[in-house]
Structure 1
Amino acid sequence: MEKKTRILIVEDDMIIGANLSLQLSTLGYEVTGIESRGEEAIMHTNANSPDIILMDINLKGKLNGIETVALIQENHNIPIIYLTANSDEVTFTRARKTHPFAFVSKPFNRLDLQRTIALAVEQLEEREGYQKPLNEIQFMEDRIFIRCNGKMSKLLLNDILYIEADRNYCTLVTEKCKHVLASTLKTMEEELPLSSFIRVHRSYVINISKVDVVTDHHLEIGRKVIPLSKSHKEFLMSRIHTI
């Protein structure tokens, strides 16, 4: 069965939101929900990980659409399509800083929206398709074996820089290559030795010996900037002091 692209609609006008949902469902997309407040959109994204977010800039509640997207992007890399009736330069400049995939002006043309989403889906498929998820990992004391192209390849644990979550998959990164694994980050964390690997964020497990820089809100491994959650910072610092 072909996987459906999952789309979250964030729209303060529930009539428009319901109409959008109907159109998207008719086009074969899966609508994960319709939210009218930024706070609810963030919680929904954390719980459901949609593939694309349609985001109205003017929302109910304390957060507008731009502020909501900025907070979502702290933990997720999801294409954003802004839906907006505001065409002023100030709004556009602020929204542009969040690097959206596209802007669709209200009242939007159905065909324009359909084409914009189709282009976003194509980019998603290209981004996710550059590496096929691998199916088998075997853990040993100081190494893992990864099945690739019909054979098991050895990877020393000390060569791993960090592991990044992507829903039910994760990406294991070394200095020379990346491996997309058919495993959750939680499973990898449980299998890897705590003496070397710790979680620093909901989406990252790092090799503590590879850390170059630690700040209040992020750490760096090579040129990669990795977010550091407040709840994990104290444990990370205590581990660094024991190295």
Structure 2
Amino acid sequence: MTKPIQILIVEDNMVIGTNLSMQLNELGFEVCGLLPRGEDVLSCIRNERPDILLLDIQLKGKLDGIETARLVQSEFDIPIIYLTSNADEAHFRRAKETKPRAFISKPYKNIDLKRAIELTVEAISNNARPEATIENHYVLTDRVFVRKQDKLMAVAIKDIRYLEADRNYCRIFAVEKEYLLVGTLKSLEEKLPRANFMRVHRSYIINVSQIDEVGNNHVSVGGKIIPVNKIAKFELLRRLQTL
């Protein structure tokens, strides 16, 4: 089953934000968060990265929507759709510098919201260019070779923190860098050394030696909270005792 598009809403009017969330759910999208302040956005994205950021330009607090977008773009490449009730030239010029995918004027129509998101999703799909690919013979016992353009780059097994499913791709989160790989999480699970890696959730494989904390139903790896299912939790504790 295809994972629904994850959308993070940043809107300081909670009535508008809640209605927007309900509309998006009805359209088949999944809202992964509703935040009222720009100051909270970056930490939220670090914990759970959305596919699209739906951002009100006029936020209360120290950061308006445009400044929030710039802050996010300093770390992440996430498509932005602006919501605005003020379409004056000054705001438009500032917002345009952040290269948003669309502007939606308030009060917005349901069809405008749907079309803006669908066009953004289509643009993401058309412009997707994986940073690296991986094949069987590129996985060794102590490192993984990933292809980037015309080069093979070595990523030490010990430096890989976790892998996350991303539709038809997988993301490797290493100590210093992130890599996008072609292939399913299951195919990569079969190639990685079992002594180091363990599937703890349908969307995550972790490097057991990189665990910082074990909770009741999660682990923390490099500051990322990763869910752990009950069956995996029992096996994980057993393996930790043997390290």
Q: Same fold (TM over 0.5)?
A: yes
Q: Deviations over 1:159-179 (max 9, x none)?
A: xxxxxxxx8379xxxxxxxxx
Q: Quick one: distance in 1 between partners of 2:8 and 2:30?
A: 9
Structure 1 gaps of 5+ residues are 147-154, 159-166, 171-179, 190-198, 205-243
Q: Quick one: distance in 2 between partners of 1:116 and 1:75?
A: 24
- Does structure 1 residue 138 correspond to structure 2 residue 139? yes
Q: Quick one: distance in 1 between partners of 2:49 and 2:123?
A: 17
Q: TM-score, normalised by structure 1?
A: 0.60
Structure 2 gaps of 5+ residues are 155-162, 180-243
Task: Look up the match of 2:14.
Answer: 14
Residues 134 and 182 of structure 1 are in contact (CA less than 8 Å); yes or no, is this contact kept in structure 2?
no
Q: Cα distance 1:42–1:22, how it changes in 2: closer, same or farther (>3 A)?
A: same
Q: Quick one: distance in 2 between partners of 1:133 and 1:3?
A: 21
Task: Look up the match of 1:195.
Answer: none
- Name which of 129, 152, 173 aligns with 1:185: 173
Q: TM-score, normalised by structure 2?
A: 0.60
Q: CA deviation at 1:40?
A: 1.1
SS of residue in 2 equivalent to 1:139: coil
Residues 134 and 181 of structure 1 are in contact (CA less than 8 Å); yes or no, is this contact kept in structure 2?
no
Q: Cα distance 1:89–1:185, how it changes in 2: closer, same or farther (>3 A)?
A: same
**Length, aligned pairs only:** 169
Task: Look up the match of 1:31.
Answer: 31
**Matched letter for residue 70 of structure 1:** R
Task: Look up the match of 2:186.
Answer: none
SS of residue in 2 equivalent to 1:91: helix
Instruction: Kindly report the root-mean-square deviation, in angstroms, between the aligned alpha carbons of the 2 structures.
Output: 3.4
Residues 6 and 30 of structure 2 are in contact (CA less than 8 Å); yes or no, is this contact kept in structure 1?
yes
Residues 11 and 55 of structure 2 are in contact (CA less than 8 Å); yes or no, is this contact kept in structure 1?
yes
**Matched letter for residue 99 of structure 1:** K
Q: Quick one: distance in 2 between partners of 1:97 and 1:27?
A: 29
Task: Look up the match of 2:164.
Answer: 168
Residues 53 and 81 of structure 2 are in contact (CA less than 8 Å); yes or no, is this contact kept in structure 1?
yes
Q: Cα distance 1:10–1:141, how it changes in 2: closer, same or farther (>3 A)?
A: closer
What are the within-5 Å matches in structure 2 for residues 56-67 of structure 1? 56-67=56-67
Q: Cα distance 1:144–1:47, how it changes in 2: closer, same or farther (>3 A)?
A: closer
Q: Cα distance 1:23–1:183, how it changes in 2: closer, same or farther (>3 A)?
A: closer
Residues 84 and 105 of structure 1 are in contact (CA less than 8 Å); yes or no, is this contact kept in structure 2?
yes
Task: Look up the match of 1:222.
Answer: none
Q: Quick one: distance in 1 between partners of 2:35 and 2:83?
A: 14
SS of residue in 1 equivalent to 2:53: strand
Q: Cα distance 1:64–1:168, how it changes in 2: closer, same or farther (>3 A)?
A: same
Task: Look up the match of 1:69.
Answer: 69
Q: Quick one: distance in 2 between partners of 1:142 and 1:135?
A: 13
